[in-house]
């Protein structure tokens, strides 16, 4: 009898084992000729080599399914154990607008034409500017693409940054430690991540530095290799700030820059670095620019009308 040890290194074992080992019980029923012992973060199996190979293949399918859909129940396990590889691949292509499944199976998807364009452009190029008014899903879609890249191990870390304009990037006068000072400015990023990554896993990523959230000033001097980097609220950067940020790009990196030129909060009437960058980089190969508009707004219906009204008033 052959013995094989499988270590679950990139997933919480309880997600695969199930509550009270319910998923393991399904596996044992499907593989009656194997002895299966699940302990800690490992599964030890005993049996004939061919059956052990099949078990490993099915276990990889279960792990891949969980990473994609963020859940794994007895029914899903039973289906995956009976399905062939082609059926699983076909299922994974259903709903091409779905980026992945978030917390509690929530569909994280590109919901509008321009959000889908963001997804397509980033598949072709390593740098993307997503420009448009509030509520168009720029940041949310960008974070979703970053989480997907991390899940699929295309990058080793996610770096999310914003200019802390309201505090002039001088946070000393605010109460609390550094994290408490920064959190109010970074909350939209935390909100998006909270939809996509279970709380405990997100906290672990933050503690280990796999996901980093920091003000733009903290980017100076860094080289960001193997990273998915998002600069949010880029309309509030100066020329020097956005140039500094864009030149942080390292090997095997993806950059998304989001912003709303209609909501510039830079003091002293400085020219927005985002506007300068869009003009300077519009013809550079390898960089995509997607313009979102009121048709992409996914908030309350009134938000579309408000954006339209302000645009009309500005042109009059």
What one-character DSSP code corresponds to residue 172?
G
Q: Average pLDDT for consecutive 10-residue bins of the chain (316 residues)?
A: 86 85 91 92 91 90 77 79 58 59 81 90 95 92 95 94 64 56 77 91 93 88 94 93 95 96 80 94 94 81 78 70
Element (H, E) at 184: helix 178-196
Structural domain boundaries enclosing 26: 2-92
Q: What is the pLDDT of residue 62?
A: 87
Q: Quick one: 49 and 182 in the same domain? A: no
Distance of alpha carbon 158 from alpha carbon 23, whole angstroms: 31
Q: Which pair of tokens denotes residue 101?
A: 């499944």
Q: Quick one: 130 and 84 in the same domain? A: no
Q: For the chain, percent helix, then strand, then coil, each to nearest 5?
A: 50, 20, 30
The last residue of one of the domains, among 92, 120, 140, is: 92
CATH code of residue 77:
3.30.1370.10
Q: Quick one: 266 and 287 in the same domain? A: yes
**Burial tier of 11 (Cβ tally within 10 Å: 0-12, 13-18, 19+):** middle
Distance of alpha carbon 288 from alpha carbon 256, whole angstroms: 9
Q: Quick one: 268 and 160 in the same domain? A: yes
Q: Which pair of tokens denotes residue 182?
A: 């920064």
Number of domains in the chain: 2
Strands 107-109 and 98-101: antiparallel
The last residue of one of the domains, among 92, 107, 126, is: 92
Q: What is the pLDDT of residue 172?
A: 52
Q: What is the pLDDT of residue 93?
A: 39
- Per the CB < 8 A criterion, the answer to whether 103 and 195 are in contact is yes
Q: Quick one: 193 and 66 in the same domain? A: no
Integer CA distances (angstroms), 133 to 155, 261, 292, in order: 29, 8, 7
Q: What is the pLDDT of residue 88?
A: 47
Q: What is the pLDDT of residue 167?
A: 42
Q: What is the pLDDT of residue 245?
A: 95
Q: Quick one: 62 and 120 in the same domain? A: no
Closest-CA residue to 136 (of 314, 299, 311): 299
């Amino acid at each position: 009898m052959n013995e094989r040890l499988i270590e679950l290194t990139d997933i919480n074992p309880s997600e695969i084992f199930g509550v009270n080992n319910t998923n393991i019980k399904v596996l044992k029923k499907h593989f009656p000729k194997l002895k299966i012992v699940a302990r800690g973060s490992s599964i030890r199996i005993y049996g004939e080599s061919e059956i052990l190979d099949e078990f490993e293949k099915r276990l990889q399918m279960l792990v891949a399914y969980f990473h994609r859909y963020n859940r794994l129940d007895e029914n899903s396990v039973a289906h995956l154990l009976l399905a062939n590889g082609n059926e699983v691949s076909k299922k994974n292509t259903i709903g091409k607008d779905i980026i992945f499944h978030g917390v509690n199976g929530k569909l994280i998807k590109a919901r509008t034409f321009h959000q889908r364009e963001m997804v397509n452009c980033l598949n072709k190029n390593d740098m993307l500017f997503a420009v448009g008014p509030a509520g168009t899903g720029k940041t949310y879609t960008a974070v979703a693409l970053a989480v997907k890249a991390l899940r699929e191990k295309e990058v080793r870390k996610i770096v999310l940054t914003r200019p802390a304009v309201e505090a002039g990037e001088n946070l000393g006068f605010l109460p609390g430690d550094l994290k408490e000072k920064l959190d109010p400015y970074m909350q939209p990023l935390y909100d998006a991540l909270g939809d996509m990554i279970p709380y405990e896993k997100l906290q672990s990523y933050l503690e280990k530095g796999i996901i980093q959230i920091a003000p733009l000033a903290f980017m100076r001097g860094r080289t960001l290799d193997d990273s998915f980097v998002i600069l949010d609220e880029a309309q509030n950067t100066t020329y020097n700030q956005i140039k500094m940020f864009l030149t942080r790009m390292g090997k095997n990196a993806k950059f998304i820059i989001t912003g709303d030129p209609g909501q510039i909060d830079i003091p002293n009437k400085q020219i927005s670095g985002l506007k300068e960058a869009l003009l300077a980089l519009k013809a550079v190969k390898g960089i995509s620019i997607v313009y979102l508009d009121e048709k992409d707004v996914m908030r309350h219906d009134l938000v579309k009308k408000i954006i339209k009204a302000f645009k009309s008033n500005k042109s009059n």
